[in-house]
Structure 1
Amino acid sequence: MVSDEILGTFAPIFVYWAYSGIYIMLGSLDNYRLHSRKDEDEKNLVSKSTVVKGVLLQQSVQAVVAIILFAVTGNPDDALTEQKSSILVLVRQFLTGMMVLDTWQYFMHRYMHHNKFLYRHIHSQHHRLVVPYAFGALYNHPVEGLLLDTIGGALSFLISGMSPRMSIFFFSFATIKTVDDHCGLWLPGNLFHVLFKNNTAYHDVHHQLYGSKYNFSQPFFVMWDRILGTYMPYSLVQREEGGLEVTPAKEWKDE
């Protein structure tokens, strides 16, 4: 039987590639793309093979850290505690994990944009994807992957008090959400677009030159952008050649 620790380590990696694969198959739906396929090929500054290698490297580091974290914090009574935990406790842990991850990533992400050295040598690697796509969600410099995602995930796990079993669901959900935010498709009925203001179009704004100092929040909420004045609302307009385009909302441009 596979342990919760092993599943907590490798399930998010499997989910990442499986969910990205779905969006690869849906990539031909040009009417729902936020950028044309031509733009994806011409504007991005890195090859897809390089992106795959970069993501696999980051996931390898995350797996090693997760194994160490589970080994250090492991408790043989975790499974029994999980069974006795009420639904309210589990919901509280899940929401706490979301808040911790969002808070850590907002401030680290914003600092990497405002510190010229960190942006030039580290964070700019992620912005080589001017036109985001699903499996490029975790394409980062290894240092950024460690600081934002790996340490942020570890803090979410520790501060929320979630068990290895709960972490399977939390980090798989966070992975799906992150992939969705980079998928480049605005599909009707997508629950992430209905339930979260921080979504595919919201994050696409950040990847464009006009929005590079806005919409830092990821992956769940937009509260820190709103509180600290880095929120840029957007509008979706139809492109003449087909598909959709994200632009700053009129009320923002009029300010």
Structure 2
Amino acid sequence: MVLWEAWISDELMGTFAPIVVYWLYAGMYQLLPPLDQYRLHTRKEEDQKNLVPLPSVIRGVLLQQLVQATVAGLMFLVTAKSNASDSLTQPSIPVQLIQILVAMFIMDTWQYFIHRYMHLNKFLYRHIHSQHHRLVVPYAIGALYNHPLEGLLLDTFGGAISFLISGMTARTAVFFFCFAVIKTVDDHCGLWLPGNIFHIIFQNNTAYHDIHHQLQGAKYNYSQPFFSIWDKLLGTYKPFSLEDRKEGGFEARILKD
């Protein structure tokens, strides 16, 4: 039994919990003190380089989440009806962990190739993906700031395909989607905080993705949100080093070949 079982269905939780988690986790970063000593970019760089104001970013994220919730709700509705006659029970913890790992691999694969193609295709980059790169200096609330079509193709469809192929239940999906959202927000937070578990476990982390948002790294480090497997296999991996800045904080620098 889980905490929400008496009040709300797993399908509704799977639809809306990731949205709530997004704003809670991203909001936490937004409300933190400046923490200049841990920033990958100075606040001056953020003000000068970013091409879209915060209110527009918030509106863009809310639009994507509206589409996301609609697709997720329909997906859960269809799968719930198809499983109703099977008296589906929750798998064991080891099985759920395997399903989550499978879903992570599928999501990474889907997002890598769609993301990379949006950079290689000049029309798609100019008219769709460039919206995300208006945040040259990423921050947490802007993690899902995308063109609506990109949000649908990259994140919403990627999540749906991961859910369907992995065979997880709606209850398992609640944990998987919330974890994916937290990881995505963390990758865009712009902070290199000591003890951050994501920086310890994942090579694909805040600094890794920051390289991709830099002009000289835009054709590299496409992988998101979990691993760097496809970048390394297909020659788009750029290693980096973290250098101390004189004015405080860190700078992610591409290591030369």
Which TM bucket (shorter chain)?
over 0.9
Unaligned runs of 5+ in 2: 1-6
Matches within 5 A, 1:134-213: 134-213=140-219
Cα distance between partner residues in 1 of 2:64 and 2:92: 34
Query: Is the CA contact (8 Å cut-off) linking 1:198 and 1:222 kept in structure 2?
Result: yes
SS at match of 1:153: helix
| 1:116-131 to 2 correspondences below 5 Å | 116-131=122-137
1:17–1:78 CA distance, 2 compared to 1 (3 A): farther
Give, as a single letter, the amino acid of the residue that structure 1 aligns with 2:8. V
- The 8 Å contact of residues 34 and 184 in structure 1, kept in 2 or not, is answered as yes
Shift in Å, 1:76: 2.9
Aligned to 1:30: 36
Give the Cα–Cα distance (whole angstroms) in 1 for the partners of residues 221 and 247 of structure 2: 27
Q: Structure 1's 50 and 78: CA in aligned 2 closer, same or farther, altered over 3 A?
A: farther
Contact kept, 8 Å, 1:78 with 1:163, in 2: the verdict is no
- For structure 1, the 5+ residue unaligned runs are none
Once the 2 structures are TM-superposed, how far is the Cα of residue 63 of structure 1 from its aligned partner?
A: 0.2
CA contact (8 A) 1:102 1:217 kept: yes
In structure 2, C-alpha distance between the alignment counterparts of 1:27 and 1:218, rounded to whole Å: 27
Distance in 2 separating the partners of 1:71 and 1:192: 33
CA distance in 1, matches of 2:222, 2:97: 25
- Fraction of identical pairs, as percent: 68
Q: Residues 46-79 of structure 1, C-alpha deviation per residue, up to 9 Å, x if partnerless?
A: 0100000000000000000011001111123677
Q: Match for 2:155: what amino acid?
A: D
Match of 1:19 in 2: 25
- TM (norm. structure 1) is 0.96
Residues 1:65 and 2:71 are matched in the alignment: yes
User: What residue number does 2:60 align with?
Assistant: 54
- Structure 1's 214 and 76: CA in aligned 2 closer, same or farther, altered over 3 A? same
Does residue 103 in structure 1 map to residue 105 in structure 2?
no
Equivalent-residue separation in structure 2 for 1:157 and 1:78 (angstroms): 18
What root-mean-square deviation, in Å, do the aligned CA atoms of Structure 1 and Structure 2 show?
A: 1.1
CA distance in 1, matches of 2:85, 2:28: 38
The residue type paired with residue 222 of structure 2 is F
With normalisation by structure 2, the TM-score equals 0.95
The code of the aligned residue for 1:171 comes to: F
Going from structure 1 to structure 2, the CA distance change for 1:73 and 1:166 (only over 3 Å counts) comes to: same
Question: Which of the numbers 34, 39, 45 marks the counterpart of 1:39?
Answer: 45
Deviations 1:67-103 (A, max 9, x none): 1001111123677511xx1222111100010000000
Q: Quote the offset at 1:41 in angstroms.
A: 1.1
Q: CA deviation at 1:242?
A: 1.1
Closer, same or farther: CA 86–31 of 1 in aligned 2, 3 Å: same
Query: Partners of 1:155 and 1:165 in 2: how far apart?
Result: 16
The answer for the alignment partner of 1:242 in structure 2 is 248
Mapped pair 1:76 → 2:69: no
State how many pairs are aligned. Answer: 249
Matches within 5 A, 1:222-241: 222-241=228-247
Counterpart Cα distance in 2 of 1:65 and 1:156: 14
The list of structure 1 runs, each at least 4 consecutive aligned residues, that deviate by more than 2 angstroms after superposition, is: 75-80
Report the CA distance shift for 1:138/1:27 in structure 2 as closer, same or farther (over 3 A): farther
Alignment partners' CA distance in 2, 1:118 and 1:159: 27
Amino acid at match of 1:196: F
